Chain A
Amino acid sequence: MVLYDSTALAGNSSGSSSSSSSKPPPPPLQPQQQQEIDGLLAGAGYKVRSSELRKVAQRLERLETAMVNSPADFSQLASDTIHYNPSDLASWVDSLLSEFAQPPTCPSEFVMDPVTNQTVVNDAWTTTEPNMPQVHQNISYEQQSLNNQLTVVTAMEEDSGIRLVHMLMTCAECIQRGDFSLATSFLEDMQGLLTRVNTVCGIGKVAGHFIDALGRRIFQGIGGGSINGGSAYENEILYHHFYEACPYLKFAHFTANQAILEAFDGHDCVHVVDFNLMHGLQWPALIQALALRPGGPPLLRLTGIGPPSPDGRDSLREIGLRLAELARSVNVRFAFRGVAASRLEDVKPWMLEVNPKESVAVNSIMQLHRLLGSEPNRNSPVETVLSWIRSLNPKIMTVVEQEANHNQPGFLDRFTEALHYYSTMFDSLEACTVQPDKALAEIYIQREITNVVSCEGSARVERHEPLARWRTRLSGAGFRPLHLGSNAYKQASMLLTLFSAEGYSVEENDGCLTLGWHSRPLIAASAWQALSDAPAEFPAPDTHRPS
């Protein structure tokens, strides 16, 4: 049983490592540590501590020498190696150096000062320190995200489309002010304008859904109406078509599976806990990959969490049986367990029956945001769930979330963000021509829109938050990031090129991968590992996983 003292980790960057001094200190966990980071390089997207600049420079120099001495080898090796988190320049340079079997710290960098008999750093860099006042533009992307980022990618709109948007914003503003009668008149105007606007694509398409959602909010109140009452069966159908129509879920599954596969390397008893089983679409690929792994497949247990089936069916079990059938056909020893729960916070860790000898992977595809209650500071469900996840000591936790700020307290801010997010997502759907996938995918997205716009309190479950916020929350809850590397990036990119329209783009973001439409990330995938408390097991500070 792992005891967890949250205060010790939250404020103290050196963690609980108190063991032998030969271990280097762990990397900082908290964003506060960025005070030491070179502000100008941060503005260029690189996090290097000022105190480490010289060291990084020396290593870059050594890499250049290696490059000059054997350019062909260098190129080949460096291309084939897996790169992680280019923002962390020091680690990136070190990992390249270790590819060339040169230890990052080499005594020959230093010379003995004959007078003092102390080692002195040997370099010739100008020592002029930049005398610049702190330039505000040099806040990192992470800081910017925390400071209310609003990303807009527009295609060119007709005037009526622009008028519609203007009215939507004004209507939302009236609602925020509590002026419902004015809001209602705008609603009527918009419904009229909608008949004259191209609703097949562009802003007209998504505007209709936002008009509906505003209407619900005004007339039905914020309790959610019947939207969340959609049956689990309906939800599953819509989910499946959303899966088919665009690559967001496929990307989520694929990236998470890659990370899980790597984490399970060398382990013979593995247990995956899926926070939202649905039709189990993610798992056939993992089962097959495990079947093919060198050394043979492990024993795989899968615990799938999902809502209870109303009509006496045990749909979780049915999915389990199908997956078991597949596993059998590829000779993977497999066991399935379904855990029925209407809400994730109702799940208790004992229900998962995790065996201490197993390697556990916790997989959350767009579920964690549902745990963000309306009162974030009072032992919210997310803290509780993250705590018991940690108590399972998972080898890896894969998290995929919508990359959006839909949990802002102010209604107008939330509305604006949602309008841009979903219009980008709808724009990406244009490329899909398969029906009924496309139409049903749109309804799937529409439900999210309705929840974000017309619900409040416990009814509002679509509380999406951006990656920067999740990083802070997960680090604070005792997890450290496992970086997704260039191999995962490349494979995700290639899959997109093969199976999806042009316009989708995968980006690397400080160890995580995002999938977006053109320059707007829409989905973010990350991987985490629980920090262990026992000093002897404290993980080494390199954030790379064995390749």
Chain B
Amino acid sequence: MAGSNEINLNECKMVVPLNTWVLISNFKLAYNILRRPDGTFNRHLAEFLDRKVPANANPVDGVFSFDVLIDRGTGLLIRIYRPATGEEPQLNIVDLEKPVTAEVVPVIIFFHGGSFAHSSANSTIYDYLCRILVGTCKAVVVSVNYRRAPENRYPCAYDDGWTVLKWVNSRSWLQSRKDSKVHIYLAGDSSGGNIAHHVALKAVESGIGIMGNILLNPMFGGQERTESEKRLDGKYFVTLRDRDWYWRAFLPEGSDRDHPACNPFGPNGISLEGVKFPKSLVVVAGFDLVQDWQLAYVEGLKKAGQEVKLLYMEQATIGFYLLPNNDHFHVVMDEISNFVRSDC
């Protein structure tokens, strides 16, 4: 097992504001308690500790939300966020699914992070992030409450993403006036970014058009130990050991990290040359230990002739986008907004 257990607390203290440090350290501590060495997960305690917030069909700061049960069998729930137009005095089920009115309305299907094991669509941190996305992108956001590892391994999360994509694509009320089509973007942070990539792959195979992919600190990896993993192991909230644990929990039993789910451009990956893959915006944090894999992903897309923009945030750690108290947050939100609005 590569990487040391040494914690160099002083380094990460210097680069994030105090409240961010407290938030992410709290997660780090809690997550450590939840992961068991035998690969099982203390799900009850995880759900107890996770802070959640219900949907609110009354607008708060111009955004309202409601949940939809897409699949009773798997309990697949999504949370839809919409901008309030300020006209409707009272909302009811009819208004919730009122057709979008603009010529072009981006619909962002969002996959929350948590390394495939943690968090939910109704986690407070992700509810907050989705609301921000609605405001900055003037978009409808659909947050997916996908099934998590280790109870539900690959490909459950991808399947859930695919189910939601089909659902969103078939909603007449989400169609942009311009072309009566739903303008879909796939977005996600950490494991959510990984899911976005794989759902886009499936979409391409099936002929559903995706306008773009937005990957925020996406979770990728591989069997090899990269330079960034060795250099940054344990320095900025994340250790290689925990990354390994989550891959073992998500990937099929007996797989290694060169499984294409983990390493899409690795030895078992498929080529994207000639494939009509959506344009991608990939955000990489300079203090994220898996950045070499994320950069390799960007290279892989480029080599296959795909349109990709890399946003490398040198001084950013994981989770920088969870609180709006740093410049990286605002830069990235602007970039995402431009990425999405450029088609409007």
B29 at the interface (CB under 8 A from A): yes
The answer to whether B323 and A44 touch across the interface, beta carbons within 8 angstroms, is: yes
The answer to whether B90 and A173 touch across the interface, beta carbons within 8 angstroms, is: yes
Q: From known contacts A46-B51, A165-B92, A165-B94, infer whether A60 and B45 are also in contact, taking CB-CB under 8 Å.
A: no
Question: Which stretch, A50-58, A220-228, A369-377, A432-440, touches the partner chain B?
Answer: A50-58
B272 at the interface (CB under 8 A from A): no
Q: Which residues of chain A have C-beta atoms less than 8 A from B52's C-beta? A: 45, 507, 519
A144 at the interface (CB under 8 A from B): yes
Q: Mark B104-119, 1 if CB is under 8 A from A, else 0.
A: 0000000000000000
The answer to whether B19 and A130 touch across the interface, beta carbons within 8 angstroms, is: yes
Q: Which of B19, B21, B61, B124 has most chain A Cβ within 10 Å?
A: B19
> Least Cβ distance of B242 to chain A in Å?
11
Q: From known contacts A41-B19, A141-B53, infer whether A83 and B68 are also in contact, taking CB-CB under 8 Å.
A: no
Question: Which stretch, B2-10, B156-164, B276-284, touches the partner chain A?
Answer: B2-10
The answer to whether A155 and B68 touch across the interface, beta carbons within 8 angstroms, is: yes
Binding site secondary structure of chain B:
mixed
B33 at the interface (CB under 8 A from A): yes
The answer to whether B325 and A130 touch across the interface, beta carbons within 8 angstroms, is: yes
A153 at the interface (CB under 8 A from B): yes
> Least Cβ distance of A428 to chain B in Å?
11
* A510 to B179 alpha-carbon distance, docked (Å): 47
The answer to whether A152 and B55 touch across the interface, beta carbons within 8 angstroms, is: yes
The answer to whether B22 and A60 touch across the interface, beta carbons within 8 angstroms, is: yes
The answer to whether A416 and B92 touch across the interface, beta carbons within 8 angstroms, is: yes
In the complex, which of the residues B13, B53, B68, B92 contacts A45, with contact meaning CB atoms closer than 8 Å? B53
> Least Cβ distance of B3 to chain A in Å?
13
Q: Mark B11-37, 1 if CB is under 8 A from A, else 0.
A: 001111111011101101110110111
The answer to whether B7 and A64 touch across the interface, beta carbons within 8 angstroms, is: yes
Q: Mark A193-207, 1 if CB is under 8 A from B, else 0.
A: 000000000010000
* A46 to B21 alpha-carbon distance, docked (Å): 13
Q: From known contacts A151-B57, A153-B69, A519-B67, infer whether A169 and B92 are also in contact, taking CB-CB under 8 Å.
A: yes
The answer to whether A56 and B93 touch across the interface, beta carbons within 8 angstroms, is: no
The answer to whether B47 and A151 touch across the interface, beta carbons within 8 angstroms, is: no
The answer to whether A67 and B32 touch across the interface, beta carbons within 8 angstroms, is: yes
> Least Cβ distance of B96 to chain A in Å?
7
Q: Which residues of chain A have C-beta atoms less than 8 A from B6's C-beta? A: 68
The answer to whether A135 and B324 touch across the interface, beta carbons within 8 angstroms, is: yes
Q: From known contacts A68-B5, A130-B17, infer whether A44 and B124 are also in contact, taking CB-CB under 8 Å.
A: yes
Q: From known contacts A38-B19, A40-B323, A155-B69, infer whether A490 and B25 are also in contact, taking CB-CB under 8 Å.
A: no
* A157 to B69 alpha-carbon distance, docked (Å): 11
The answer to whether B72 and A157 touch across the interface, beta carbons within 8 angstroms, is: no
Q: Which residues of chain B have C-beta atoms less than 8 A from A520's C-beta? A: 54-55, 67
Question: Which stretch, A119-127, A182-190, A274-282, A449-457, touches the partner chain B?
Answer: A119-127
Q: From known contacts A43-B128, A144-B56, A493-B47, infer whether A169 and B90 are also in contact, taking CB-CB under 8 Å.
A: yes
B77 at the interface (CB under 8 A from A): yes
* A313 to B47 alpha-carbon distance, docked (Å): 47
* A49 to B15 alpha-carbon distance, docked (Å): 22
The answer to whether B51 and A44 touch across the interface, beta carbons within 8 angstroms, is: yes
* A169 to B91 alpha-carbon distance, docked (Å): 9
Q: Mark B190-234, 1 if CB is under 8 A from A, else 0.
A: 000000000000000000000000000000000000000000000
Q: Which residues of chain A have C-beta atoms less than 8 A from B84's C-beta? A: none
B58 at the interface (CB under 8 A from A): yes
Chain B, Cβ-Cβ closest to A84: B48
Q: From known contacts A130-B325, A132-B324, infer whether A153 and B19 are also in contact, taking CB-CB under 8 Å.
A: no
The answer to whether A126 and B17 touch across the interface, beta carbons within 8 angstroms, is: yes
The answer to whether B66 and A153 touch across the interface, beta carbons within 8 angstroms, is: yes
- A60-B25, A490-B45 given. 14 additional CB < 8 A pairs? A43-B124, A45-B52, A72-B37, A79-B36, A89-B22, A126-B17, A132-B324, A132-B325, A151-B57, A154-B93, A166-B94, A489-B44, A494-B44, A503-B72
5 cross-chain pairs, A with B, having the tightest CB-CB distances, nearest first: A45-B51, A45-B124, A130-B325, A152-B66, A78-B33
